[in-house]
Chains A and B, each alone.
Chain A
Amino acid sequence: MKTMNLLIISAIAVLVFTAVGCKNNTDVSQEFAVNEIVEENTVEANAIAEAGYKIGDEATDFKLKDVNGRMVSLSDYKDAKGFIVIFTCNTCPFAVASEERIVALNNEFKSKGFPVIAINPNNPEIQEDDSFELMQQKAKEAGFTFPYLFDESQTIYAKYGATKTPHVYLLQKEDGKNIVKYIGAIDDNVRNAAEVKDRFLANAINELLEGKEVTVKETKAIGCSVKQ
């Protein structure tokens, strides 16, 4: 019986020892690629993704700070027929690849009643490159001709259901409400503007301008996940 006890004790000792040994091992391997601790709540992210707007929903207005310090709301645009709301950020390669196209969209559609409203949904404490100061720099360098707003409380992107940057919501005013008409990508080739075959967003706006229903209401594109 003594031998049994001894065996059990040594078993526990060995187990603890090995567990610690293996764990240390893991810790070393986990150090390798991690430059920054990123806290994430994936359950929450999933809940938000499901709770976002669908086609036909009324989108909320907001009051967010622009890079020039002014507060901007959709209700400021009395004459607009609708809005191109784009959740984007400073450094995501897909957002950067889309910058010129977003400027071009504003140039093309603002005069037709659909101005671009860009919103940065990222938390700069997680993604330091997405700070307000760097947003100001980005707007200047990239020649943004539209508001570039900071979703500081991170509530607006969550209500819309944006999961990534860039993520587009096309809204149309109907009886004073902003109704979601299209959700998704700018076009079918985020990497190379020269190879675009289908301008999803522009097509949708043109259909609305012609009083038609949007044919392609939702598209998918790769993007950087919103940093909460």
Chain B
Amino acid sequence: MSKLYTFLKYFFITFWTVFVVAPFLWAVSTSFKDFQSVNSKVTYIPWLDFEPTLEGWRVLIKSPAKGGVDIVEPYFNSIFVTCTASLISIVLGTLAAYALSRFTFKAGFVRNNDITFFFISQRIMPPIVLSIPFFIFLSTIGLLDSLLGLVVVYIVLLMPIAVWIMVDFFNRVPKELDETALIDGCNPYQAFYKVVLPNSIPGLIVAGMFCIIFGWIDFFFAFILTFTEVQLLPVKVVALNSSITPWWSLSASALVSVAPLIIVAFIVERYLSKGNLSGALK
């Protein structure tokens, strides 16, 4: 029984790993191929099967004037928009979540839970519903096709995630902890940043991670709200696909665009694996 279990366990782990890693390796290998190696026959092993070339990668940093596609600028645009929007969302979202978790709001029939649901409902709505209002809104205030406009839209998209995660997190931090801080001579602001915040780091990291992921991978709004002035990475990568699909540079750009998420995952994993995500407080 236990042998069978061990066998099945490793079988599925191996299966899943191959399932996940194989396309990735395929992309790595494809990014070093040229037109010949991709289109003639299926090739696997560099030097033996095909002659590796850096052409797919070079195209990415060459300016369009020289026949390249230059993803450097969209890359930094994406980093700027994602980081700025995530940071603002986390700061505002955490404050909102703390208030929603600790204070009681009453306005007509609206209570704390209704406000929290209002935040979350922004994510339940299909993005397509929001596209036209956002478009009109940004064009009215003159921020269409600009980084600032994208930051504003992304804050609207990301803050609900931050509020949602942090409300849940703060609800699990005992209220007595804040009260003890007050009794020990902290005013409410000091209680928040001296006691509650340092104990919320795992929650902040998770919220930050989700904000960065959702901000980074968004294609829809980046596509609709930008034209020529500003381009974000996902749009640029998809735009590579023209009459002839350049599999090599498409693979290379895909790898470059997942790299930051992999780095984020490795950093965050250290905190998550400590097991102090929820067990930080009894």
| Co-assembled chains A and B | no
**Contact surface of A with B, Cβ cutoff 8 Å:** none
**Contact surface of B with A, Cβ cutoff 8 Å:** none
